[in-house]
Amino acid sequence: MAGPTEIGLIFTLLLSWSFCATPEKKVCQGANNKLALLGTVDDHYQILVKMYSNCTVVLENLEITYMTEKHDLSFLRSIQEVGGYVLIGINSAPSIPLENLRIIRGHSLYDDKFALAVLSNSNSSIGQGMNQLPLTSLTEILKGGIKFTGNNHLCNMETIQWTDILNMKSQPKNEIQNFTSQRQCKKCDPSCHNGSCWGPGPQNCQTMTKVICAEQCSGRCKGPKPIDCCNEHCAAGCTGPKPTDCLACKDFQDEGTCKDACPRLMLYDPNTHQLAPNPDGKYSFGATCIKICPHNYVVTDHGACVRTCSPGTYEVDEGGVRKCKKCDGLCPKVCNGLGMGPLTNVLSINASNIDSFENCTKISGGVTILPTTFRGDQHTKTPVLDPVKLNVFRTVKEITGYLVIQQWPESMSSLSAFENLEVIRGRTKQQGAFSFAVTQTKITHLGLRSLREISDGDVVIGHNQHLCYTSHDHWKRLFKSEHQSVRVTANANATTCANRNSTCDEMCTADGCWGPGPTMCFVCKHYSRKKHCVASCNLLAGEPREYEVNKTCAECDPECLLMNDTQTCTGPMMAAHQSLKCFLSH
């Protein structure tokens, strides 16, 4: 177990980094530790100093916790913008100086509700606590509500007019516990608008930028007259009417101008029907538009710089840029097979290890299925395997070692659990020779309709008394090395197969097939559509309309205008030299 101090050090290493997005603004990541104490109170303080010093923009959450009166908190003065929530909790320091904080965006909320949570900032055992929270620049909370509880010493907060700050359209939920009357508080300065202030003196009056605005204003203003209205893209307030005069931007800031979106990375060229890179395109990074994502960030489909790709996408390198790409089906996941990692000395798949193959697309190592797989083994306390569990292998596309099957459930007529397997690499082999073997099963057909390569090692298909569709020649086409051989013996004989009508579908070429039906052909005679062999594509009739590419039917882009008597499209929408009638619908 790591001690609290070590945990603190780990957090320091993880969270202390930051960088400059624009020369004058230092952006830092922020935290998500909630009320956890990182090490001792002094470790905790040092971590916060490292994390937020000189920081103007906090991308995620600003969490100020466990600060006491002996700590110098001036490092918080640089902070102007927070992307997530602000948590101020368990502090006994008399004041938390966040005078320059203008905007809390609330992209993530404390307890899913609060953009500003001020919790338990008083210590009854020493009779001390935070008595001032001078958020004198805070004029905007874009999403979420506020929560104040357990702040027995905190003054003036009850005078704040939160409707000027909160975004009522986001339906904020607020929880404000009554402030006790025992406090000795100084009153707001008489000059404060409507008696609202963060502390005594005229410098602590609440600045109103919404409730005082003229009717003509669409959002914020700098005064009550119609000419005082801010630009619609401003948040927090402004110094003038232009989108360059905002105190903060509602959506994005691009070289000092507030906009609703960053300049797009690709633009549609109506002459060539192509998307072309926009030389002025920018990525969005928090609420800022930038030319290049900071180091260690990846780019999403939408051109945003993020730290990790979202579920359903995976990271790839494209021309030196790290990007998030949509996964084709399941995201790639490599798992250890037999002979590798924790399965180094394990001889077969069994009930104790089959769950480790969930969602795997690639198995590094081998897969062996033996009679013990289904029987279980008392010696190693291995239970009986439910045959249905074999379906875990349906996600597997590649096995780097071997696939050896010496028993298969009688309830399954083919090796359908491996129907998506595309490649057996044979880098490791069973008994040093075999990369694929199926023996002594009761299957009627192999059903390995996606298998297109066995890179190395020999193949044995033997003593499967009901097995038809075993073409000797086909295996050679899957081989990639001259030294590979195949032995097909003692399966169902030709007479038996003919009597059973075990012939390939008429949509298959004479090359053969993996089993019955139009989904099992080695090669389609005419065209293929999503693993089915078909006679023709929907060129002129049928929906969705299609075009042909490499003997495959592909759907027309939904933007294409449906045509009769002539082809609706001849290629993917954005491909070069798109011809025929294909219009943007907008």
Catalog residues that contact ligand NAG under the rule CB under 6 A: 53-54, 90, 123, 125-126, 178, 194, 211, 343, 346-348, 350, 352-353, 358-359, 372, 377, 380, 382, 493, 495-496
Copy the structure tokens of residue 54. 């000189």
Inter-helix orientation angle 41-52/4-15, to 10°: 0
Residue 190 beta carbon to ligand NAG: minimum distance, rounded to whole angstroms: 14
Residue 207 beta carbon to ligand NAG: minimum distance, rounded to whole angstroms: 13
Give the other-Cβ count within 10 Å of 490's Cβ.
Answer: 13
Q: Which is nearer to ligand NAG, 57 or 553 (CB)?
A: 57
Copy the structure tokens of residue 79. 């902070």
Beta bridge partners of 231: none
Q: Please name the amino acid found at residue 267.
A: L
Q: Are strands 298-299 and 305-306 parallel, antiparallel or unpaired?
A: antiparallel
Question: CA 21, 27, 33: angle at the middle one, nearest 5?
Answer: 150
Q: Which is nearer to ligand NAG, 408 or 522 (CB)?
A: 408
- Helices assigned H by DSSP within 155-306: none
* Beta strands, E only, 156-280: 175-176, 234-238, 246-249, 252-254, 257-259, 266-269, 274-277
Q: Which is nearer to ligand NAG, 126 or 562 (CB)?
A: 126
- Phi, psi (degrees; rounded to nearest 5) at 385: -90, 130
Q: Which is nearer to ligand NAG, 54 or 74 (CB)?
A: 54
Residue 52 beta carbon to ligand NAG: minimum distance, rounded to whole angstroms: 9
Q: Which is nearer to ligand NAG, 214 or 580 (CB)?
A: 214
The Cα-based distances of 578 to 26, 48, 277, 542, 556 in angstroms read 46, 56, 18, 21, 12
Residue 16 beta carbon to ligand NAG: minimum distance, rounded to whole angstroms: 9
Q: Which is nearer to ligand NAG, 372 or 400 (CB)?
A: 372
Residue 492 beta carbon to ligand NAG: minimum distance, rounded to whole angstroms: 7
CA distance 550 to 562: 23
> For residue 363, what is the DSSP state?
E
Residue 225 beta carbon to ligand NAG: minimum distance, rounded to whole angstroms: 16
CA distance 455 to 432: 15
The helix/strand/coil state of 215 is coil
Residue 200 beta carbon to ligand NAG: minimum distance, rounded to whole angstroms: 18
Residue 30 beta carbon to ligand NAG: minimum distance, rounded to whole angstroms: 15
Q: Which is nearer to ligand NAG, 194 or 274 (CB)?
A: 194
Q: Which is nearer to ligand NAG, 35 or 573 (CB)?
A: 35
Q: Which is nearer to ligand NAG, 90 or 165 (CB)?
A: 90
Q: Which is nearer to ligand NAG, 289 or 403 (CB)?
A: 403
Residue pair 248/236 in contact (Cβ under 8 Å)? The answer is yes
Q: Please name the amino acid found at residue 230.
A: C
- The alpha carbon of 514 is separated from its chain's Cα centroid by a whole number of angstroms, namely 37
Question: CA 309, 312, 314: angle at the middle one, nearest 5?
Answer: 45
Residue pair 229/213 in contact (Cβ under 8 Å)? The answer is yes
Residue 35 beta carbon to ligand NAG: minimum distance, rounded to whole angstroms: 11
CA distance 323 to 303: 9
Residue 333 beta carbon to ligand NAG: minimum distance, rounded to whole angstroms: 7
Q: Which is nearer to ligand NAG, 66 or 283 (CB)?
A: 66
* Beta strands, E only, 239-385: 246-249, 252-254, 257-259, 266-269, 274-277, 283-285, 288-290, 298-299, 305-306, 313-318, 321-326, 334-336, 362-364, 367-369
Residue 211 beta carbon to ligand NAG: minimum distance, rounded to whole angstroms: 5
Residue pair 235/142 in contact (Cβ under 8 Å)? The answer is yes
CA distance 278 to 492: 63
Sheet with 103-104, edge to edge strand ranges: 18-22, 25-28, 57-58, 81-82, 103-104, 140-141
Residue 256 beta carbon to ligand NAG: minimum distance, rounded to whole angstroms: 21
Q: Which is nearer to ligand NAG, 228 or 557 (CB)?
A: 228
Give the other-Cβ count within 10 Å of 564's Cβ.
Answer: 8
Q: Please name the amino acid found at residue 482.
A: E
Q: Which is nearer to ligand NAG, 182 or 495 (CB)?
A: 495
Residue 19 beta carbon to ligand NAG: minimum distance, rounded to whole angstroms: 11
Q: Which residues contact 378 (CB under 8 A, 6 or more apart)?
A: none
